[in-house]
Structure 1
Protein backbone atom coordinates (compact mmCIF):
# COMPACT_ATOMS: atom_id res chain seq x y z
CA UNK A 1 0.00 0.00 0.00
CA UNK A 2 1.44 3.37 -1.02
CA UNK A 3 1.73 6.03 1.67
CA UNK A 4 -0.51 9.04 1.44
CA UNK A 5 0.51 12.63 2.10
CA UNK A 6 -0.17 14.40 5.38
CA UNK A 7 -2.59 16.67 3.52
CA UNK A 8 -4.57 13.66 2.26
CA UNK A 9 -4.50 12.12 5.74
CA UNK A 10 -5.83 15.31 7.35
CA UNK A 11 -8.53 15.70 4.71
CA UNK A 12 -9.69 12.09 5.08
CA UNK A 13 -9.94 12.63 8.84
CA UNK A 14 -11.90 15.84 8.52
CA UNK A 15 -14.28 14.49 5.88
CA UNK A 16 -14.92 11.42 8.09
CA UNK A 17 -15.47 13.58 11.14
CA UNK A 18 -17.67 16.23 9.53
CA UNK A 19 -19.63 14.14 7.03
CA UNK A 20 -20.63 16.21 4.03
CA UNK A 21 -18.24 19.14 4.61
CA UNK A 22 -17.40 21.47 1.76
CA UNK A 23 -13.88 22.51 0.83
CA UNK A 24 -14.53 25.85 2.51
CA UNK A 25 -15.70 24.12 5.73
CA UNK A 26 -12.56 21.97 5.69
CA UNK A 27 -10.37 25.02 5.11
CA UNK A 28 -11.89 26.72 8.18
CA UNK A 29 -11.28 23.59 10.30
CA UNK A 30 -7.66 23.33 9.11
CA UNK A 31 -7.11 26.92 10.21
CA UNK A 32 -9.00 26.53 13.49
CA UNK A 33 -7.10 23.39 14.56
CA UNK A 34 -3.66 24.61 13.55
CA UNK A 35 -3.10 21.93 10.89
CA UNK A 36 -1.78 24.63 8.58
CA UNK A 37 1.41 24.88 10.65
CA UNK A 38 1.75 21.16 11.38
CA UNK A 39 1.42 19.88 7.87
CA UNK A 40 2.15 22.93 5.71
CA UNK A 41 -1.38 22.80 4.31
CA UNK A 42 -2.78 25.81 2.48
CA UNK A 43 -5.92 26.59 0.52
CA UNK A 44 -4.52 25.35 -2.77
CA UNK A 45 -3.31 22.08 -1.26
CA UNK A 46 -6.71 21.50 0.38
CA UNK A 47 -8.54 21.69 -2.95
CA UNK A 48 -5.82 19.74 -4.78
CA UNK A 49 -5.94 17.11 -2.00
CA UNK A 50 -9.72 16.82 -2.27
CA UNK A 51 -9.36 16.27 -6.03
CA UNK A 52 -6.71 13.55 -5.45
CA UNK A 53 -8.88 11.81 -2.85
CA UNK A 54 -11.84 11.96 -5.20
CA UNK A 55 -9.77 10.56 -8.07
CA UNK A 56 -8.64 7.69 -5.82
CA UNK A 57 -12.27 6.93 -4.98
CA UNK A 58 -11.83 7.64 -1.27
CA UNK A 59 -14.29 10.55 -1.15
CA UNK A 60 -17.29 11.53 -3.24
CA UNK A 61 -18.84 14.90 -3.80
CA UNK A 62 -22.50 15.67 -4.11
CA UNK A 63 -24.53 18.63 -5.19
CA UNK A 64 -25.58 20.94 -2.40
CA UNK A 65 -28.77 22.85 -2.16
CA UNK A 66 -27.09 25.20 0.33
CA UNK A 67 -26.35 28.42 -1.48
CA UNK A 68 -25.13 31.47 0.31
CA UNK A 69 -23.96 34.71 -1.21
CA UNK A 70 -23.27 35.30 -4.85
CA UNK A 71 -20.81 32.46 -5.45
CA UNK A 72 -21.54 28.93 -6.58
CA UNK A 73 -23.20 26.46 -4.20
CA UNK A 74 -20.72 24.61 -2.01
CA UNK A 75 -19.84 21.01 -2.83
CA UNK A 76 -19.98 18.70 0.19
CA UNK A 77 -17.70 15.66 0.39
CA UNK A 78 -18.27 12.30 2.05
CA UNK A 79 -16.02 9.30 2.68
CA UNK A 80 -16.53 6.17 0.59
CA UNK A 81 -16.23 2.67 2.08
CA UNK A 82 -12.79 2.39 0.45
CA UNK A 83 -11.84 5.75 1.94
CA UNK A 84 -12.98 4.62 5.39
CA UNK A 85 -10.82 1.48 5.14
CA UNK A 86 -7.81 3.50 3.98
CA UNK A 87 -8.29 6.06 6.75
CA UNK A 88 -8.40 3.36 9.44
CA UNK A 89 -5.23 1.81 8.02
CA UNK A 90 -3.44 5.18 8.05
CA UNK A 91 -4.54 5.95 11.62
CA UNK A 92 -3.37 2.59 12.95
CA UNK A 93 -0.10 2.81 10.99
CA UNK A 94 0.64 6.35 12.15
CA UNK A 95 -0.11 5.50 15.77
CA UNK A 96 1.98 2.34 15.77
CA UNK A 97 5.11 2.90 13.73
CA UNK A 98 6.22 6.48 13.21
CA UNK A 99 9.45 7.73 14.76
CA UNK A 100 9.44 10.16 17.66
CA UNK A 101 9.13 13.78 16.54
CA UNK A 102 7.07 12.65 13.52
CA UNK A 103 4.02 14.78 12.74
CA UNK A 104 2.27 11.69 11.41
CA UNK A 105 1.87 10.39 14.98
CA UNK A 106 0.25 13.70 15.99
CA UNK A 107 -2.14 13.39 13.06
CA UNK A 108 -2.97 9.85 14.18
CA UNK A 109 -3.70 11.16 17.68
CA UNK A 110 -6.07 13.74 16.21
CA UNK A 111 -7.96 10.88 14.55
CA UNK A 112 -8.29 8.62 17.63
CA UNK A 113 -12.11 8.98 17.79
CA UNK A 114 -12.38 7.57 14.27
CA UNK A 115 -11.20 4.06 15.25
CA UNK A 116 -12.36 1.62 17.90
CA UNK A 117 -10.74 1.77 21.33
CA UNK A 118 -9.28 -1.74 20.97
CA UNK A 119 -7.72 -0.76 17.61
CA UNK A 120 -6.20 2.34 19.20
CA UNK A 121 -4.82 0.39 22.16
CA UNK A 122 -3.35 -2.30 19.87
CA UNK A 123 -1.73 0.35 17.65
CA UNK A 124 -0.30 2.17 20.65
CA UNK A 125 1.01 -1.10 22.11
CA UNK A 126 2.73 -1.72 18.76
CA UNK A 127 4.16 1.80 19.03
CA UNK A 128 5.64 0.95 22.42
CA UNK A 129 7.33 -2.08 20.83
CA UNK A 130 8.53 0.08 17.92
CA UNK A 131 9.93 2.71 20.30
CA UNK A 132 11.62 0.05 22.40
CA UNK A 133 13.36 -1.32 19.31
CA UNK A 134 14.32 2.20 18.17
CA UNK A 135 15.75 2.94 21.62
CA UNK A 136 17.79 -0.26 21.60
CA UNK A 137 19.18 0.51 18.13
CA UNK A 138 20.19 4.08 19.04
CA UNK A 139 21.67 2.93 22.37
CA UNK A 140 23.71 0.20 20.62
CA UNK A 141 25.09 2.73 18.11
CA UNK A 142 25.88 5.11 20.96
CA UNK A 143 27.66 2.49 23.02
CA UNK A 144 29.66 1.28 20.00
CA UNK A 145 31.20 4.77 19.69
CA UNK A 146 33.40 4.37 22.76
CA UNK A 147 33.52 6.15 26.09
CA UNK A 148 35.34 9.43 25.37
CA UNK A 149 32.88 11.08 23.00
CA UNK A 150 32.84 14.83 22.47
CA UNK A 151 29.75 16.62 23.74
CA UNK A 152 28.22 17.15 20.28
CA UNK A 153 28.46 13.42 19.47
CA UNK A 154 27.00 12.41 22.84
CA UNK A 155 24.17 14.92 22.31
CA UNK A 156 23.45 13.44 18.88
CA UNK A 157 22.62 10.12 20.58
CA UNK A 158 21.29 11.26 23.96
CA UNK A 159 18.71 13.65 22.54
CA UNK A 160 16.78 10.99 20.58
CA UNK A 161 17.12 8.54 23.49
CA UNK A 162 15.56 11.10 25.81
CA UNK A 163 12.75 11.81 23.33
CA UNK A 164 12.05 8.10 22.81
CA UNK A 165 11.81 7.50 26.55
CA UNK A 166 9.55 10.51 26.97
CA UNK A 167 7.38 9.25 24.11
CA UNK A 168 7.17 5.79 25.70
CA UNK A 169 5.94 7.36 28.94
CA UNK A 170 3.37 9.43 27.04
CA UNK A 171 2.09 6.41 25.07
CA UNK A 172 1.88 4.25 28.19
CA UNK A 173 -0.14 6.94 29.96
CA UNK A 174 -2.41 7.33 26.92
CA UNK A 175 -3.06 3.58 26.80
CA UNK A 176 -3.91 3.59 30.52
CA UNK A 177 -6.28 6.49 29.99
CA UNK A 178 -7.99 4.77 27.04
CA UNK A 179 -8.39 1.58 29.07
CA UNK A 180 -9.78 3.55 32.00
CA UNK A 181 -12.57 5.18 29.94
Structure 2
Protein backbone atom coordinates (compact mmCIF):
# COMPACT_ATOMS: atom_id res chain seq x y z
CA UNK A 1 0.00 0.00 0.00
CA UNK A 2 1.32 3.46 -0.95
CA UNK A 3 0.94 6.07 1.77
CA UNK A 4 0.86 9.68 0.59
CA UNK A 5 2.18 12.04 3.24
CA UNK A 6 0.05 15.11 3.88
CA UNK A 7 1.84 18.32 3.04
CA UNK A 8 2.68 20.39 6.11
CA UNK A 9 0.47 23.41 6.64
CA UNK A 10 2.21 26.68 5.75
CA UNK A 11 1.31 29.93 7.50
CA UNK A 12 1.31 32.16 4.45
CA UNK A 13 -2.31 33.19 3.83
CA UNK A 14 -3.81 35.85 6.15
CA UNK A 15 -7.30 34.79 4.97
CA UNK A 16 -6.78 31.36 6.54
CA UNK A 17 -5.86 33.01 9.85
CA UNK A 18 -8.97 35.21 9.57
CA UNK A 19 -11.16 32.13 9.04
CA UNK A 20 -9.73 30.45 12.14
CA UNK A 21 -10.36 33.55 14.25
CA UNK A 22 -13.95 33.88 13.03
CA UNK A 23 -14.70 30.23 13.73
CA UNK A 24 -13.06 30.58 17.13
CA UNK A 25 -15.80 33.13 17.92
CA UNK A 26 -18.63 30.86 16.72
CA UNK A 27 -19.49 28.25 14.07
CA UNK A 28 -20.26 29.83 10.67
CA UNK A 29 -20.62 29.01 7.00
CA UNK A 30 -18.15 30.61 4.57
CA UNK A 31 -20.54 33.35 3.45
CA UNK A 32 -21.07 34.42 7.07
CA UNK A 33 -17.30 34.51 7.57
CA UNK A 34 -16.74 36.79 4.58
CA UNK A 35 -19.61 39.11 5.49
CA UNK A 36 -18.55 39.38 9.14
CA UNK A 37 -15.00 40.28 8.11
CA UNK A 38 -16.24 42.94 5.70
CA UNK A 39 -18.74 44.32 8.22
CA UNK A 40 -15.90 44.81 10.72
CA UNK A 41 -13.65 46.46 8.14
CA UNK A 42 -11.12 43.63 8.11
CA UNK A 43 -11.03 43.73 4.30
CA UNK A 44 -8.62 46.65 4.70
CA UNK A 45 -6.03 44.35 6.28
CA UNK A 46 -6.94 40.97 4.76
CA UNK A 47 -7.71 40.41 1.09
CA UNK A 48 -11.16 38.80 1.16
CA UNK A 49 -11.82 37.04 -2.12
CA UNK A 50 -14.96 34.90 -1.94
CA UNK A 51 -13.66 32.66 -4.71
CA UNK A 52 -10.49 32.01 -2.70
CA UNK A 53 -12.38 31.44 0.55
CA UNK A 54 -13.59 27.91 -0.25
CA UNK A 55 -10.12 26.53 -1.05
CA UNK A 56 -8.89 28.05 2.22
CA UNK A 57 -11.73 26.39 4.14
CA UNK A 58 -11.02 23.06 2.43
CA UNK A 59 -7.33 23.29 3.31
CA UNK A 60 -8.06 24.08 6.97
CA UNK A 61 -10.49 21.15 7.12
CA UNK A 62 -7.97 18.81 5.47
CA UNK A 63 -5.37 19.71 8.11
CA UNK A 64 -7.84 19.10 10.94
CA UNK A 65 -8.09 22.72 12.07
CA UNK A 66 -11.84 23.02 11.37
CA UNK A 67 -14.66 20.50 10.96
CA UNK A 68 -18.22 20.36 9.66
CA UNK A 69 -20.81 20.84 12.38
CA UNK A 70 -23.99 21.00 10.29
CA UNK A 71 -25.77 22.94 7.57
CA UNK A 72 -28.06 25.95 7.34
CA UNK A 73 -30.73 26.55 4.72
CA UNK A 74 -32.37 29.88 4.01
CA UNK A 75 -35.61 29.49 2.10
CA UNK A 76 -35.12 27.83 -1.26
CA UNK A 77 -31.39 28.52 -1.37
CA UNK A 78 -28.92 25.60 -1.35
CA UNK A 79 -27.85 24.46 2.11
CA UNK A 80 -24.68 26.07 3.42
CA UNK A 81 -22.13 23.98 5.27
CA UNK A 82 -21.36 25.26 8.76
CA UNK A 83 -17.88 24.79 10.21
CA UNK A 84 -16.42 25.04 13.69
CA UNK A 85 -12.84 25.25 14.89
CA UNK A 86 -11.19 22.19 16.46
CA UNK A 87 -8.82 22.11 19.43
CA UNK A 88 -5.95 21.73 16.96
CA UNK A 89 -7.29 24.78 15.11
CA UNK A 90 -7.34 26.90 18.26
CA UNK A 91 -3.74 25.92 19.03
CA UNK A 92 -2.68 26.67 15.44
CA UNK A 93 -4.45 30.04 15.43
CA UNK A 94 -2.73 31.16 18.63
CA UNK A 95 0.71 29.97 17.55
CA UNK A 96 0.20 31.68 14.20
CA UNK A 97 -0.70 34.97 15.89
CA UNK A 98 2.27 34.73 18.25
CA UNK A 99 4.65 34.11 15.35
CA UNK A 100 3.37 36.87 13.07
CA UNK A 101 3.25 39.44 15.88
CA UNK A 102 6.61 38.64 17.47
CA UNK A 103 8.76 37.91 14.40
CA UNK A 104 9.36 40.87 12.00
CA UNK A 105 9.40 39.71 8.39
CA UNK A 106 11.49 41.11 5.57
CA UNK A 107 9.07 42.45 2.97
CA UNK A 108 9.68 43.89 -0.47
CA UNK A 109 7.27 46.82 -1.01
CA UNK A 110 7.22 48.12 -4.57
CA UNK A 111 8.01 51.66 -3.34
CA UNK A 112 11.24 50.44 -1.77
CA UNK A 113 12.13 48.59 -4.99
CA UNK A 114 11.48 51.74 -7.04
CA UNK A 115 13.57 53.89 -4.67
CA UNK A 116 16.52 51.56 -5.18
CA UNK A 117 16.49 52.55 -8.86
CA UNK A 118 15.53 56.22 -8.40
CA UNK A 119 18.53 57.58 -10.37
CA UNK A 120 16.98 56.17 -13.56
CA UNK A 121 14.76 59.27 -13.34
CA UNK A 122 16.23 62.73 -13.36
CA UNK A 123 16.27 64.61 -10.02
CA UNK A 124 13.60 67.07 -11.15
CA UNK A 125 11.27 64.32 -12.33
CA UNK A 126 11.94 62.34 -9.15
CA UNK A 127 10.85 65.32 -7.05
CA UNK A 128 7.67 65.66 -9.13
CA UNK A 129 6.63 62.02 -8.70
CA UNK A 130 7.51 62.10 -4.99
CA UNK A 131 5.27 65.17 -4.58
CA UNK A 132 2.46 63.27 -6.33
CA UNK A 133 2.92 60.43 -3.87
CA UNK A 134 2.65 62.87 -0.96
CA UNK A 135 -0.69 64.15 -2.31
CA UNK A 136 -2.03 60.60 -2.59
CA UNK A 137 -0.85 59.75 0.92
CA UNK A 138 -2.42 62.93 2.36
CA UNK A 139 -5.74 61.99 0.75
CA UNK A 140 -5.58 58.41 2.01
CA UNK A 141 -4.65 59.43 5.54
CA UNK A 142 -7.53 61.92 5.61
CA UNK A 143 -10.00 59.28 4.41
CA UNK A 144 -8.78 56.78 6.99
CA UNK A 145 -9.04 59.35 9.76
CA UNK A 146 -12.65 60.12 8.80
CA UNK A 147 -13.53 56.42 8.60
CA UNK A 148 -11.97 55.76 12.00
CA UNK A 149 -13.79 58.66 13.64
CA UNK A 150 -17.06 57.31 12.26
CA UNK A 151 -16.74 53.95 14.05
CA UNK A 152 -14.54 54.67 17.08
CA UNK A 153 -17.58 55.80 19.05
CA UNK A 154 -19.22 52.36 18.93
CA UNK A 155 -16.36 49.90 18.27
CA UNK A 156 -13.80 49.04 20.98
CA UNK A 157 -10.32 50.34 20.23
CA UNK A 158 -8.89 46.82 20.34
CA UNK A 159 -10.84 46.01 17.17
CA UNK A 160 -9.32 48.97 15.32
CA UNK A 161 -5.64 48.41 16.08
CA UNK A 162 -4.70 47.41 12.53
CA UNK A 163 -6.20 50.68 11.23
CA UNK A 164 -4.13 52.71 13.69
CA UNK A 165 -1.01 50.79 12.57
CA UNK A 166 -1.76 51.45 8.90
CA UNK A 167 -2.36 55.16 9.49
CA UNK A 168 0.95 55.47 11.36
CA UNK A 169 2.79 53.62 8.58
CA UNK A 170 1.22 55.92 6.00
CA UNK A 171 2.24 58.92 8.09
CA UNK A 172 5.83 57.66 8.31
CA UNK A 173 5.80 57.04 4.54
CA UNK A 174 4.52 60.56 3.95
CA UNK A 175 7.15 62.15 6.21
CA UNK A 176 9.99 60.18 4.59
CA UNK A 177 8.78 61.00 1.08
CA UNK A 178 8.46 64.72 1.85
CA UNK A 179 11.92 64.85 3.43
CA UNK A 180 13.46 63.02 0.44
CA UNK A 181 11.80 65.36 -2.05
CA UNK A 182 13.01 68.40 -0.07
CA UNK A 183 16.60 67.10 0.09
CA UNK A 184 16.71 66.41 -3.65
CA UNK A 185 15.22 69.81 -4.45
CA UNK A 186 17.70 71.60 -2.17
CA UNK A 187 20.67 69.59 -3.48
CA UNK A 188 21.34 68.11 -0.03
CA UNK A 189 21.09 64.44 -1.00
CA UNK A 190 24.47 62.72 -1.08
CA UNK A 191 25.62 61.91 -4.63
CA UNK A 192 23.21 64.28 -6.30
CA UNK A 193 25.97 65.88 -8.37
CA UNK A 194 26.72 62.52 -9.97
CA UNK A 195 23.01 61.88 -10.39
CA UNK A 196 22.58 65.14 -12.28
CA UNK A 197 25.67 64.39 -14.37
CA UNK A 198 24.21 60.99 -15.27
CA UNK A 199 20.91 62.63 -16.24
CA UNK A 200 22.79 65.06 -18.50
CA UNK A 201 24.71 62.15 -20.05
CA UNK A 202 21.52 60.22 -20.80
CA UNK A 203 19.96 63.35 -22.34
CA UNK A 204 22.69 63.26 -24.99
CA UNK A 205 21.44 59.82 -26.07
CA UNK A 206 17.63 60.21 -26.38
CA UNK A 207 17.25 56.68 -27.72
CA UNK A 208 18.85 55.33 -24.53
CA UNK A 209 21.73 53.75 -26.45
CA UNK A 210 24.64 55.01 -24.35
CA UNK A 211 27.85 53.42 -25.71
CA UNK A 212 29.08 50.83 -23.17
CA UNK A 213 32.51 52.42 -22.99
CA UNK A 214 30.97 55.80 -22.19
CA UNK A 215 28.60 54.36 -19.63
CA UNK A 216 31.30 52.26 -17.93
CA UNK A 217 33.63 55.26 -17.84
CA UNK A 218 30.96 57.34 -16.13
CA UNK A 219 30.26 54.61 -13.56
CA UNK A 220 33.94 54.29 -12.70
CA UNK A 221 34.24 58.06 -12.36
CA UNK A 222 31.21 58.09 -10.08
CA UNK A 223 32.76 55.31 -8.00
CA UNK A 224 30.33 52.57 -8.95
CA UNK A 225 31.42 49.05 -9.98
CA UNK A 226 30.92 48.14 -13.63
CA UNK A 227 29.06 44.95 -14.60
CA UNK A 228 31.17 41.78 -14.13
CA UNK A 229 32.61 40.10 -17.21
CA UNK A 230 30.93 36.97 -18.54
> TM-score of the superposition, structure 1-length normalised?
0.51
1:92 matched to which residue of 2?
98
User: Which residue pairs with 1:77 in the alignment?
Assistant: 83
Equivalent in the alignment of 2:65: 58
Q: Which of 25, 29, 32 pairs up with 1:25?
A: 32
TM alignment of 1:122-141, pairs within 5 A: none
CA distance in 2, matches of 1:48, 1:37: 21
How far off its partner does 1:99 sit? Answer: 5.0
Matched, 1:41 2:48: yes
Residue 150 of structure 1: aligned partner: 189
Q: Secondary structure at the match of 2:12?
A: coil
Task: Report the equivalent of 1:3.
Answer: 11
Asked which structure has the greater RCO (Cα within 8 Å, sep 6+), the reply is 1
1:151 Cα deviation from its structure 2 partner? 6.9
After TM superposition, which residue ranges in structure 1, 4 or more long, deviate above 3 angstroms? Answer: none
Q: CA deviation at 1:12?
A: 0.7
CA distance in 2, matches of 1:56, 1:90: 15
State the shift of 1:98 in Å: 2.9
- The CA distance in 2 between the partners of 1:152 and 1:31, in whole Å, is 47
Higher relative helix content:
1
Tell me if structure 1 keeps the 8 A contact 2:70–2:83: no
Q: How far apart, CA to CA, are the structure 1 residues paired with 2:87 and 2:42? A: 25
1:10, CA displacement in angstroms? 0.8
Contact preservation (8 Å) 1:36, 1:42? no
Larger radius of gyration: 2
Per the TM alignment, residue 58 of structure 1 is displaced from its structure 2 partner at its CA by 0.6
Task: Confirm or deny: 8 A CA contact 1:15 1:79 kept in the other structure.
Answer: yes
Match of 1:13 among 21, 27, 46: 21
Which structure 2 residue ranges, 5 or more long, are not aligned?
Answer: 1-8, 108-157, 162-187, 193-230
d(CA) in 2 for partners of 1:150, 1:80: 56
Corresponding residue SS for 2:70: coil
How many residue pairs get matched?
A: 108
Please list the CA deviations of residues 78-124 of structure 1 after superposition, one character each: whole Å capped at 9, or x if unmatched.
111111110010111122123599xxxxxxx76x9xxxxxxxxxxxx
Tell me, yes or no, if the aligned pair for 2:34 and 2:48 is still in contact at 8 Å: no
Alignment of 1:98-109 (within 5 A): 98=104
What is the DSSP-based 3-state SS (H/G/I as helix, E as strand, rest coil) of the residue aligned with 1:62? Answer: strand
Aligned-residue offset at 1:59: 0.4
